[in-house]
């Protein structure tokens, strides 16, 4: 659903099926979060009485799909007459002017400046302010900041001299539920802010969101935190915090700083969902934009509806969640198994139809039975068709020479080989910059840095000379985020002594200790999480797996190679608030550090229901679809003692992660007019 | 009374609700004052003395929160608290007016003063730091003066504004509010000028005494007259006021006259001078010896004690008395209370009577009656009532003691509310009593504790104590856990008395980081504020500290360096400042200087790389070529200063060089397709230009080579670019020449790829495939580019089973070819 003026004007929003996942049957009562988010929004809107124009930050508009399961049109009942996207110009309104303009915006400087621009424009037109007696009735401005109001945003509105004309409130929208087991804050810049700039703002949002989770489901029995981000104290220690210790829905909370495992996002996933994300232009807010002719119900559209106007949008947002039963089945399958699986399902459906057609003298009841099954059947049929089409598109790439070459390259790097020449060659062939940078980063991460100053400089120069000098800041930021580095000189041992986990070869140690490379992966019957990329087990998920099964005792050899070791491991309910506060005050919770020599046993399943306890894995800095798949795989296994719910600051992949680290340069150079226009597009003469 | 004064020689003014008494001694008949202003409590215990000169104040009065207002005839007004501490002074008359104040009225928190020129000066709230005074025109003058004046509390007026009622010698009554005067035109309804007026406590009635001795009571809206009472005297009373809401009390020398609502009257002889203080439901009569309370007998007591009362409450009371005497009449009496409903009423009335009663012994009797009645009652509805009534009585009885001496009736207590009573206790420094009261009534104690601590601190000024001792003393008395006491207020008090060190010590106990930091900032303890903000780990608080400190220091003209060195030690603070300045980049052209200075400040680790990056970013934002070049040179200089950014320095230098070369090319070839391109793109364009500018072919080539050499482009990359460029620009002859020139460094695959991408015919593609020497390689290229027919041919020529298996699993879907592949497979025994 697109919340532009067009969609609202036609009322088309109402017709679109919900993009929100049905949350029934989730391990945690996620519906409670969703309905609370919804309640808060409606209360905020009802607090402003009269005709309203709702102006949405584009990113938030999509996020709202997951809050309002019946679509944004339901907001019309709460006085929203117009929908607008937050743009530099507010624009005019066709019908009766709204009494209020309500902004729903993330608390960023850019959106505040845009809003200030709107208010200033109204001031200039004399609609508000002192001399507003004769002027047309002006709307009142309200700003709802997501996920909370910040001093800085207020300061900006004040500096822009518009603060007296707006009312400010917070809309505490943090976690949105993408699926029964996936929660996301959709905060893409968290990793960059924290790791490159050291700005803890978004991290604070993330930890505050965890607190909200606790308010719903109680404090977890155990908290295990890896990485620097996990060592920041939860904000409730400093806040009025209603203790919720009687609820115990969450057994274990694992906080994983993305910095602990930067390798996994750089590796190309081979699950269906992961590949859709990588190859189909990216999954945003659990939706992907597909070409209209890929969709399964395309035939029916041709019969039933007038043909689409030429020039109309040819892509359609397609929701990817477990509402689509078939998708829930296939999304985590390895691409090699996918085709077989889809074929069987298609055959099954065909068979049912054939069976009925063959039965010429079916009784009335039989016909009735069949008709009853039709809605589900046709839905399944459409779904199978769509996924077969999508798979075909995906397969076109995955069967290609390039993709295989890339996989091989990644595998070589993961196993510890240096493939500088291949990377150099790919740069020379001007492969897309993100893809190349991703390989370069993976090489650096796996090999403990690029060996030798000369090589390092050479590769960086190749990048700059090929993709443009503008990347010079980006290279620096990648370096700062730990994705790219020069190998330290010296042996592994001395590096360990001197530089700790970032030393060369630490990935090699981890690979051995955690068996990250699995050679005999059978994609049709996987027995290890390594199936998600046909051979490499995501480090983060492997940590979770080992931790759940044998506690920190299983990680004795691993801990020294992780950054910001030792991880924290404590039972929050055993401490009073003051004790916890003291522990965090005194040096990042050192007292709460994990003891690798203590044996811990995983908790038993619930005696009455037989259900396993719940583990929430919170990725600070982004989670990949491969990791989600791997954790789902673990969750389903009998020998894994938890049901897993994945929470994250955002869903990412290698390219989006690198994109978030790009040093933005705004090129405004004026060129003198000349004969040729865009030099990069010099083509063959006709 | 605990005092030893004679009312006749003093001016007395009492605060409402049993509050303090201000007493001024007059020397004889002259308006000269002696011995200052004394403040007593209701029991005549002296609380304070305000030292005073000789000038008698023209008016004095108490505000609702027991602050004493003293007004001098020149308009200067002084405000004191109950303990005689000076609070503030302000002027009721602007200095430009040469008038004298003759009469003053105080209401709530407001003050109205009438001048000798009959101008009203009004202040609505004397409690604020800078009271605002405004003028109200009366339409009167010194020729037609007002003889009496009262104020109607804005609570009771329809407009919500204060109204002043004035009576004049020519029988008019004028109501003045901020909208101007309004004559009520009563000349026809009253016989003589009104000499005295009093407003009833409920604001509904006005009692007027006329010069001919008639007491008229009318509504304050002047629409209805309630009572006309002829006192048969033309002497005006010394004092006239209300006793409760329905009776008027008049004082002449030697007697008091109480006039009831229907003209009934009572006369009380008094030999000595007295002063009347009107209360909401009674009046206090202050004499030399005692403070008396005159009140209509409360309804509940009347019900029980009226002669011959047969009310169930009276029956219950009698039964209790009989029971205590061991008299069987008790049973009889109880029988006459026959229904449960009556019994409940009886109990209730007895509880009310106990509350209304002032004498503790009698209170107990009523309570005993209520409890006795409860024994006959099946339900225990009354339990709560009795408990809360007893609590109230305990509070009231305690208050009525000589110390603290706040004499309240139960009704007044209800109106005042416990919180206001606690405030009064705090104003008297009765912290212990206030605390006990909180405990008894279950009210939060924060306020009392904080007030105590602040008072303790102020006392400490007199007796110097160590900061540590004082802190410990305060801490011991305040609860530590489960209670977020606003320590910030104590700290603020400590700072106010000049004990900053103590203030900072106390602030450590504050739980709200924002408050903590705010106070520290207001104390200009920037270092400490920043410290606290950072350790709170709350971004908002750190921002608060940063923004305030930055603003304060820059307005004080302190160099930014000291600000930077302040934040240098705090990692979060400095990174947030960076983030802040980075966001400033979005907002203005010149804000980047801030960020640059921050990167380059020596008190922080100098960030040459980031400063260089910034310079480049700014350079790119410029539309002008020259400025960009300047910025880039600046960036080079910055990069060059750090060992870690030598690479960047070199690259930027090379890029500058490239830009210059590109400008040269653009001039030479007359096309604007070079500037701002990367090295690769430049080479590509040079080669591609060969298609259109054939005459310049050699120059283009040599330029391409020049760039390759200058920027050390590896041969392999150069080849890749060349192949792509030649193919894309359709220079097939050169393309072919390049392929055959010598065995290409990069193999033939890029050539084939380029051909396929340019949709060249298959035959042409195959020519290049044939150039590949290795058969296996050739085969895999054929498969990669989906050239199935030649692929099958190659495979069958080799009779290679492996290759057919590979073909079988490929994406080839031509049925004829697939059949062929299957045939071959069978032939070679693959199946």
A151 and B587 within 8 Å at the Cβ level: the answer is: no
A467 and B678 within 8 Å at the Cβ level: the answer is: yes
Contacts of A364 (CB under 8 A, 6+ apart): none
Positive or negative: CA dihedral B754, B759, B760, B761: positive
B717 and A668 within 8 Å at the Cβ level: the answer is: no
Report whether pLDDT(A298) > 60.
no
Confidence of residue A304 (pLDDT cuts 50, 70, 90): very low
Given 3.40.50.300, 1.10.1040.10, 3.40.50.1110, 1.25.40.850, which CATH number is that of A421-513?
1.25.40.850
Q: Between residues A18 and A413, which one has the greater pLDDT?
A: A413
Distance CA B299, CA B411 (A): 12
Contact B41, B21 (CB under 8 A): yes
Cα B683 to Cα A110, B651, B711: the distances in Å are 39, 18, 11
The closest of B550, B552, B523, B520 to B535, measured between CA atoms, is: B520
End-to-end CA distance of chain A: 42
Confidence of residue A269 (pLDDT cuts 50, 70, 90): very high
Distance CA A670, CA A678 (A): 14
| Architecture field, domain A30-173 | 3-Layer(aba) Sandwich (3.40)
Report whether pLDDT(A578) > 80.
no
Report whether pLDDT(A497) > 80.
no
Confidence of residue A302 (pLDDT cuts 50, 70, 90): very low
> Looking at the partner chain, which of A152, A238, A666 has a beta carbon nearest the beta carbon of B538?
A238
Q: Return the number of other C-beta atoms located less than 10 Å from residue B10's C-beta.
A: 21
User: What b-and-e string marks burial along A619-653, b requiring 16 or more CB atoms within 10 Å of the CB?
Assistant: bbbbbbbbbbbbbbbbbeeeebbbbbbbbbbbbbb
With a pLDDT cut of 90, the percent of chain A lying above it is 25
Residues of B numbered 257-276 whose beta carbons fall under 8 angstroms of chain A's beta carbons: which are they? none
CA distance B131 to chain A (A): 26
pLDDT at A682: 42
Which span out of A402-406, A519-523, B470-474 was modeled with the highest average pLDDT? A402-406
Test the B interface: residue of A669, A671, A680 with most B CBs within 10 Å: A669
pLDDT at A625: 94
pLDDT in tens, B242-252: 998 889 999 99
At the topology level, CATH places domain A202-266+537-652 in Rossmann fold (3.40.50)
Please report residues of B whose CB lies closer than 8 A to that of A232.
537
Report whether pLDDT(A494) > 70.
no
Confidence of residue A310 (pLDDT cuts 50, 70, 90): very low
pLDDT at B144: 87
- Examine domains A30-173 and A202-266+537-652 and report if their fold is the same: yes
- Map residue B72 onto helix, strand or coil: coil
Dihedral-angle region of residue B232 (phi above 0 means left; psi in -120 to 50 means alpha; beta otherwise): left
Positive or negative: CA dihedral A104, A105, A107, A112: negative
pLDDT at A9: 35
- Map residue A16 onto helix, strand or coil: coil
Distance CA B756, CA B762 (A): 8
pLDDT at B276: 93
pLDDT in tens, A437-459: 999 999 999 988 888 889 999 99
Mean pLDDT score, A182-208: 88
> Looking at the partner chain, which of B583, B648, B675 has a beta carbon nearest the beta carbon of A671?
B675
B724 and A430 within 8 Å at the Cβ level: the answer is: yes
Confidence of residue A137 (pLDDT cuts 50, 70, 90): low
Please report residues of B whose CB lies closer than 8 A to that of A110.
586
pLDDT at B522: 87
Q: Does B455 touch chain A (CB under 8 A)?
A: no
pLDDT in tens, B474-486: 877 777 555 567 7
Distance CA B536, CA B247 (A): 63
Confidence of residue A505 (pLDDT cuts 50, 70, 90): low
The DSSP element (H or E) to which B181 belongs, if any, is strand B180-183
Confidence of residue A590 (pLDDT cuts 50, 70, 90): low
Strands A100-106 and A140-146: parallel
Residue A478, phi then psi, degrees to nearest 5? -60, -40
The position carrying tokens 């070199």 is: B650
> Looking at the partner chain, which of A466, A476, A665 has a beta carbon nearest the beta carbon of B678?
A466
pLDDT at A498: 46
pLDDT at B626: 87
The pair of three-digit structure tokens given for residue B553, joined into one six-digit string:
């220091």
The partner residues of B626 in beta bridges, in order of sequence, read: none
Distance CA B174, CA B824 (A): 123
The tally of CA atoms less than 13 A away on the side-chain side of residue A628 is: 30
Distance CA B609, CA B596 (A): 11
pLDDT at A491: 52
Report whether pLDDT(A14) > 60.
no
Mean pLDDT score, A424-438: 91
The string of DSSP letters for B522-588 reads HTT-HHHHHHHHHHHT-HHHHHHHHHHHHHHHHHTT--HHHHHHHHHT-HHHHHHHHHHHHHHTTT-
Pick out chain B residues at pLDDT < 50: none
CA distance B526 to chain A (A): 19
Report domain extents, chain A. 30-173, 202-266+537-652, 421-513
CA distance B467 to chain A (A): 25
- Map residue B282 onto helix, strand or coil: coil
Distance CA A450, CA A478 (A): 13
Report CA dihedral (B758, B759, B763, B768) to the nearest 10 degrees: 30
DSSP B681: H
Cα A395 to its chain centre, rounded Å, is 24
Distance CA A503, CA A104 (A): 45
> Looking at the partner chain, which of A430, A464, A684 has a beta carbon nearest the beta carbon of B651?
A464
Mean pLDDT score, A9-28: 61
Residue of B nearest to A467 (CA): B678
For all residues of chain A together, what is the average pLDDT? 81
pLDDT in tens, A79-117: 888 888 888 888 777 778 888 899 999 988 889 999 999
Distance CA A506, CA B116 (A): 95
> Looking at the partner chain, which of A201, A428, A682 has a beta carbon nearest the beta carbon of B688?
A682
Give all strands (DSSP E) within B64-172, no chain letters: 68-71, 76-80, 86-91, 101-107, 110-115, 120-123, 133-136, 146-152, 163-168
A424 and B716 within 8 Å at the Cβ level: the answer is: yes
CA distance A312 to chain B (A): 29
Which span out of A236-245, A356-365, B59-68, B781-790 was modeled with the highest average pLDDT? B59-68
């Amino acid at each position: 659903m697109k919340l532009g003026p067009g969609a609202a004007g036609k009322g088309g929003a109402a017709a679109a099926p919900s993009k929100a996942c049905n949350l029934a049957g989730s391990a945690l009562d996620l519906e409670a979060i969703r309905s609370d988010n919804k309640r808060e929004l409606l209360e905020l809107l009802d607090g402003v009485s009269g005709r309203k124009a709702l102006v949405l930050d584009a990113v938030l508009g999509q996020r709202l799909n997951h809050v309002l399961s019946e679509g944004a049109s339901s907001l019309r009942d709460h006085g929203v007459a117009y929908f607008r996207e937050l743009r530099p110009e507010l624009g005019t309104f066709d019908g009766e002017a709204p009494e209020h303009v309500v902004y729903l915006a993330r608390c960023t400087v850019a959106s505040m400046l845009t809003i200030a621009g709107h208010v200033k424009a109204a001031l200039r037109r004399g609609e508000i302010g002192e001399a507003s007696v004769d002027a047309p009735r002006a709307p009142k401005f309200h700003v709802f900041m997501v996920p909370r109001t910040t001093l800085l945003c207020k300061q900006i509105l004040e500096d822009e001299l518009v603060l007296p004309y707006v009312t400010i409130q917070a809309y505490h929208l943090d976690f949105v539920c993408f699926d029964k087991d996936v929660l996301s804050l959709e905060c893409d810049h968290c990793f960059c802010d924290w790791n490159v700039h050291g700005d803890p703002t978004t991290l604070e949002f993330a930890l505050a969101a965890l607190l909200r989770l606790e308010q719903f489901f109680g404090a977890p029995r155990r908290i295990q935190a890896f990485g620097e981000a996990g060592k920041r104290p939860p904000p409730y220690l400093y806040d009025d915090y209603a203790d919720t210790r009687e609820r115990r829905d969450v057994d274990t909370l694992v906080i994983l700083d993305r910095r602990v495992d930067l390798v996994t996002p750089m590796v190309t996933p081979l699950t269906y969902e992961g590949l859709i994300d990588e190859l189909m232009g990216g999954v945003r807010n659990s939706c992907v934009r597909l070409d209209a002719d890929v969709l399964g119900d395309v035939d029916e559209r041709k019969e039933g509806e007038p043909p689409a106007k030429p020039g109309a949008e040819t892509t359609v947002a397609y929701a990817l969640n477990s509402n689509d039963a078939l998708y829930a089945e296939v999304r985590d399958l390895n691409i090699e198994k996918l085709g077989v699986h889809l074929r069987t399902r298609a055959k099954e459906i065909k068979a049912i139809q054939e069976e009925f057609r063959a039965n010429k003298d079916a009784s009335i009841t039989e016909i009735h039975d069949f008709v009853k099954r039709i809605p589900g059947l046709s839905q399944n049929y459409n779904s199978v068709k769509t996924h077969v089409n999508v798979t075909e598109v995906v397969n076109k790439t995955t069967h290609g020479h390039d993709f295989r070459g890339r996989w091989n390259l990644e595998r070589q790097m993961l196993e510890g080989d240096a493939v500088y020449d291949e990377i150099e060659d790919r740069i020379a062939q001007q492969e897309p910059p993100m893809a190349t940078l991703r390989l370069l980063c993976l090489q650096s991460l796996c090999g403990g840095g690029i060996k030798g100053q000369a090589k390092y400089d050479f590769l960086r120069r190749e990048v700059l000379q090929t993709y443009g000098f503008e990347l010079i800041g980006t290279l620096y930021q990648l370096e700062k985020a730990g994705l790219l580095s020069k190998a330290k000189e010296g042996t592994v041992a001395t590096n360990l002594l001197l530089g700790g986990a970032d030393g060369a070869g630490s990935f090699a140690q981890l690979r051995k200790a955690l068996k990250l490379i699995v050679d005999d992966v059978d994609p049709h019957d996987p027995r290890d999480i390594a199936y998600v990329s046909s051979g490499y087990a995501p480090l983060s998920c492997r940590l979770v797996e080992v931790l759940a099964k044998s506690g920190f005792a299983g990680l004795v050899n691993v801990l020294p190679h992780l950054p910001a070791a030792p991880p924290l491991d404590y039972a929050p309910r055993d401490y009073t608030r003051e004790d916890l506060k003291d522990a965090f005050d005194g040096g990042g919770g050192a007292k709460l550090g994990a003891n690798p020599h203590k044996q811990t046993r995983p908790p038993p399943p619930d005696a009455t229901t037989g259900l396993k306890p719940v583990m929430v894995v919170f990725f600070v800095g982004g989670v990949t679809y491969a990791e989600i798949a791997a954790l789902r795989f673990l969750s389903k296994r009998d020998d894994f003692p938890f049901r897993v719910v994945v929470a994250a600051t955002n869903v990412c992949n290698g390219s989006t992660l690198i994109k978030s680290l790009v040093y933005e340069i705004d090129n405004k150079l004026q060129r003198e007019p000349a004969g040729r226009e865009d030099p990069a597009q010099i083509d063959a003469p006709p | 009374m605990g005092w030893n004064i004679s009312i006749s020689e003093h001016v007395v003014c009492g605060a409402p609700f049993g509050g303090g008494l201000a007493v001024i001694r007059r020397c004889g008949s002259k308006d000269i004052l002696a011995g200052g202003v004394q403040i007593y409590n209701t029991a005549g215990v002296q609380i304070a003395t305000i030292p005073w000169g000789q000038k008698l104040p023209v008016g004095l009065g108490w505000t609702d929160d027991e602050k004493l207002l003293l007004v001098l005839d020149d308009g200067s007004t002084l405000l004191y608290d109950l303990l005689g501490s000076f609070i503030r002074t302000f002027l009721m008359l602007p200095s430009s007016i040469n008038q004298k104040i003759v009469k003053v009225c105080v209401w709530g928190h407001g003050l109205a003063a009438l001048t000798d020129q009959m101008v009203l000066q009004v202040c609505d709230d004397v409690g604020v730091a800078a009271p605002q005074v405004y003028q109200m025109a009366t339409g009167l003058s010194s020729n037609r003066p007002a003889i009496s004046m009262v104020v109607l509390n804005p609570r009771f007026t329809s407009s919500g504004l204060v109204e002043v009622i004035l009576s004049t010698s020519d029988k008019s009554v004028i109501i003045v509010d901020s909208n101007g005067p309004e004559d009520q035109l009563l000349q026809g309804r009253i016989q003589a000028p009104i000499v005295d007026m009093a407003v009833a406590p409920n604001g509904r009635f006005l009692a007027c005494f006329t010069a001919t001795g008639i007491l008229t009571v009318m509504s304050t809206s002047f629409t209805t007259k309630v009572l006309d009472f002829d006192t048969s005297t033309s002497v005006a009373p010394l004092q006239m006021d209300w006793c409760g809401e329905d009776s008027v009390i008049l004082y002449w020398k030697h007697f008091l006259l109480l006039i009831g609502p229907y003209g009934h009257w009572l006369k009380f002889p008094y030999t000595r001078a007295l002063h009347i203080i009107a209360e909401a439901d009674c009046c206090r009569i202050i004499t030399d010896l005692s403070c008396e309370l005159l009140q209509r007998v409360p309804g509940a007591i009347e019900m029980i004690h009226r002669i011959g009362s047969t009310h169930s409450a009276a029956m219950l009371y009698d039964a209790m008395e009989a029971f205590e005497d061991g008299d069987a009449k008790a049973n009889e009496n109880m029988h006459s209370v026959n229904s449960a409903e009556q019994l409940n009423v009886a109990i209730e009335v007895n509880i009310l009577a106990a509350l209304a009663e002032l004498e503790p012994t009698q209170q107990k009797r009523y309570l005993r009656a209520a409890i006795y009645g409860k024994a006959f009652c099946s339900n225990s509805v009354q339990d709560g009532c009795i408990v809360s009534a007893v609590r109230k009585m305990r509070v009231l009885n305690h208050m009525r003691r000589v110390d603290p001496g706040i004499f309240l009736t139960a009704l007044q207590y209800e109106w005042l509310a416990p919180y206001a009573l606690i405030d009064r206790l705090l104003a008297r420094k009765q912290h212990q009593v206030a605390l006990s009261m909180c405990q008894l009534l279950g009210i939060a104690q924060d306020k009392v504790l904080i007030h105590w601590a602040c008072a303790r601190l102020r006392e400490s000024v007199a007796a110097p104590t160590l900061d540590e001792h004082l802190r410990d003393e305060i801490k011991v008395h305040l609860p530590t856990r489960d209670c977020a006491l606003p320590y910030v207020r104590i700290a603020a008090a400590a700072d106010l008395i000049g004990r900053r060190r103590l203030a900072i010590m106390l602030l450590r106990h504050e739980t709200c980081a924002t408050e903590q930091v705010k106070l520290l900032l207001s104390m200009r303890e920037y270092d400490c504020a920043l410290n606290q903000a950072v350790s709170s780990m709350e971004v908002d608080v750190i921002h608060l500290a940063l923004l305030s400190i930055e603003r304060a220091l820059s307005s004080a003209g302190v160099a930014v360096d000291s600000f930077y060195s302040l934040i240098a030690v705090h990692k979060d603070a400095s990174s947030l400042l960076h983030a802040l300045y980075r966001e400033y980049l979005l907002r203005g052209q010149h804000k980047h200087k801030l960020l640059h200075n921050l990167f380059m400040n020596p008190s922080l680790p100098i960030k040459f790389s980031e400063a260089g990056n910034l310079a480049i970013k700014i350079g790119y934002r410029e539309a002008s070529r020259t400025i960009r070049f300047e910025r880039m040179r600046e960036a080079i200089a910055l990069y060059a200063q750090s060992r870690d950014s030598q690479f960047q320095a070199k690259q930027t230098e090379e890029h500058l060089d490239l830009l210059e070369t590109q400008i040269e090319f653009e001039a030479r070839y007359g096309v604007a397709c070079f500037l701002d391109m990367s090295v690769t793109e430049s080479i590509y364009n040079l080669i591609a230009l060969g298609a259109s500018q054939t005459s310049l072919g050699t120059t283009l080539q040599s330029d391409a080579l020049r760039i390759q050499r200058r920027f050390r482009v590896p041969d392999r990359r150069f080849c890749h670019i060349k192949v792509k460029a030649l193919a894309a620009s359709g220079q097939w002859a050169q393309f072919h020449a390049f392929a055959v020139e010598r065995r290409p460094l990069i193999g033939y695959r890029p050539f084939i790829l380029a051909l396929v991408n340019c949709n060249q015919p298959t035959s042409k593609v195959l020519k290049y495939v044939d150039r590949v020497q290795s058969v296996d390689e050739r085969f895999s290229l054929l498969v990669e580019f989906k050239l199935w027919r030649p692929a099958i041919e190659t495979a069958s020529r080799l009779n290679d089973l492996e290759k057919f298996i590979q073909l079988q699993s490929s994406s080839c879907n031509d049925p004829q070819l697939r059949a062929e592949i299957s045939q071959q497979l069978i032939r070679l025994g693959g199946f």
